[in-house]
Chains A and B, each alone.
Chain A
Amino acid sequence: MAVDFRCVDRSVPTDAWAEPTRPETGTASGASDVSEKAYEVAHLDELDRYPVDDEGLLWRPVRRRLGITAFGTNAYTAENGTERVVEEHSEEGGHEELYYVVSGRARFVLGDDEIDAPAGTFVHAEPGTKRGAVATEPNTTVLAIGAKPGVPHEVSKWEDIFVVFGLYRTGKEAEARRQLEKVLAENPDSWQGYYNAACFEALTGNDDAAVAQLKRAIELDLKALEYAADDSDFDRLRERPDFPS
């Protein structure tokens, strides 16, 4: 089942999340897996592994695990060595990003350039520059650090959504639903929350709920209607008379 990347949309400007209430992972003191110690330690091998797509790309949350609040930090692993290790996107929301190839090798696209990036390579992408990478060796891991210049860092909402769909893709549907409900409770005014809920309901066969959540998203922002028109998650529902169009 092809999950369109829209469902965990990072091309949606992060500032489109209206007045975000900070998730509990947003502060070091509030995160459940962060202790009162003066430091946090984790090895790359111990980080969670959430599938981001059906091709093998794994999201390994670093910021979330350690309670970092001043910048975004995530690792991505491509085990097979042929799949995408950084999804292609432009960070229209204004984040600049620095990628560091920790192991393996990847071919980056940066604007109009292609870059062969063995382990030890840094790739910097300014906001708005198209970037993405495909692994060219097995067990390629890329560390991504990102933040928006000139403003205090705000924890990216897509992390919460990545967890929802990551759990779903690893067969933990009940846990995924609990996480989704938490995201919705924390972001009651955000169209992205309801939009992703609509995707989740469509993927799990709850068609009525999918349409209802999509309608709520559209009521909050018409952008949701545009996204839904191209989102393959909803292909099965398009023939329904009540499907928004």
Chain B
Amino acid sequence: MSGSAHISELAFKFPNNQSWAMVRTHFDIQSFGVNAYIAGEAGVEVIGEHDELGENAGKHEELYFVSSGHAAFTVDGDEIDAPAGTFVFVPDPSTKRKAIAKEAGTTIVIVGGKPGEAFTPSPWERTSEGLAHFANKDYEKAAETYESFLAETPGNAGFLYNLACAESLLGRKEDALQHLRQSVEADAVFKRNALEDPDFDAIRDDPEFSAITGQTDATRAST
């Protein structure tokens, strides 16, 4: 649809002191991906370290624009000081990139697309539908959302992880452990996330949780 919205109307808060504005889905943009991330305070990792090759990534080339505040990017191992007004363009999906806010309110607008191909939305974007339910503390809805995604893309590590989060918060211990295990088996990166994620406080003391996230587990080397 044609229309307008201020970034403050689109942003919804995340537990990790960050807000997201899902711009593409709001306007139903069909020809490129676009979102914005806002840091609640200095030190927040506004763009978590990632490349664009993961199962949920779009394998896009990506343009990052610091529209306010001040960020410190690390791209391909290089540090880039990025005050408001800085564009950082990362063409190769395999390049590692991240950004940390140096000021509260630092806002980064991200645009992505795949050269030479018609645009299709990145799978991870769908996960935001569920994340909105987390933000509203509606964990039943969040769990239902991820279950429906998993029915379409079985075994998706990110969806399994978020489902486990919702189940842990709902006190469904066995379900949470089962789905977290499946998530970690699909992508070991989620071990590290689980260790630091307060959503799992309810199951953290369970021996099985330790087994799933165990520091001594040999599969850790694969991350």
Query: Which residues of A are at the interface with B, using a C-beta cutoff of 8 A?
Result: 28, 37-45, 62, 66-71, 73, 95-96, 98, 100, 102, 108, 110-111, 115, 117-118, 120-126, 129, 131, 143, 145-153
A115 in contact with B86 given A67-B91, A98-B23, A152-B118 (CB within 8 Å): no
In contact, A40 and B113 (Cβ under 8 angstroms): no
In contact, B10 and A122 (Cβ under 8 angstroms): yes
**13 interchain pairs, CB-CB under 8 A:** A38-B78, A39-B88, A39-B97, A68-B63, A68-B91, A69-B116, A70-B119, A98-B34, A110-B3, A120-B67, A124-B29, A143-B109, A150-B118
In contact, A124 and B119 (Cβ under 8 angstroms): no
Of all chain A residues, the one with the shortest Cβ separation from B60 is A70
Partner pick for A145 among B5, B30, B111, CB 8 A cutoff? B111
**8 A Cβ contacts from B49-90 to A:** 60-61, 63, 65, 67-68, 75-76, 78, 80, 82-83, 85-90
In contact, A117 and B4 (Cβ under 8 angstroms): yes
Extra contacts, 20 of them, besides A70-B32, A121-B7 (Cβ < 8 A), are A38-B91, A39-B75, A39-B76, A39-B97, A41-B80, A41-B82, A41-B88, A66-B63, A68-B61, A69-B91, A70-B112, A71-B32, A96-B29, A98-B27, A98-B29, A120-B67, A122-B27, A151-B118, A152-B115, A153-B32
In contact, B90 and A96 (Cβ under 8 angstroms): no
Residues in B neighbouring A110, C-beta threshold 8 A: 2-4
Partner pick for A122 among B7, B30, B78, B82, CB 8 A cutoff? B7
**Interchain Cβ contacts within 8 Å, total number:** 149
Residues in B neighbouring A44, C-beta threshold 8 A: 85-87
Partner pick for B27 among A69, A95, A124, A151, CB 8 A cutoff? A124
For the complex, give the distance between the alpha carbons of A108 and B92 in Å.
Answer: 35
Partner pick for B61 among A70, A96, A120, A126, CB 8 A cutoff? A70
Query: Which residues of B are at the interface with A, using a C-beta cutoff of 8 A?
Result: 1-8, 10, 23, 27, 29-32, 34, 60-61, 63, 65, 67-68, 75-76, 78, 80, 82-83, 85-92, 95, 97, 109, 111-119
Residues in B neighbouring A122, C-beta threshold 8 A: 4-7, 10, 23, 27
In contact, B30 and A96 (Cβ under 8 angstroms): yes
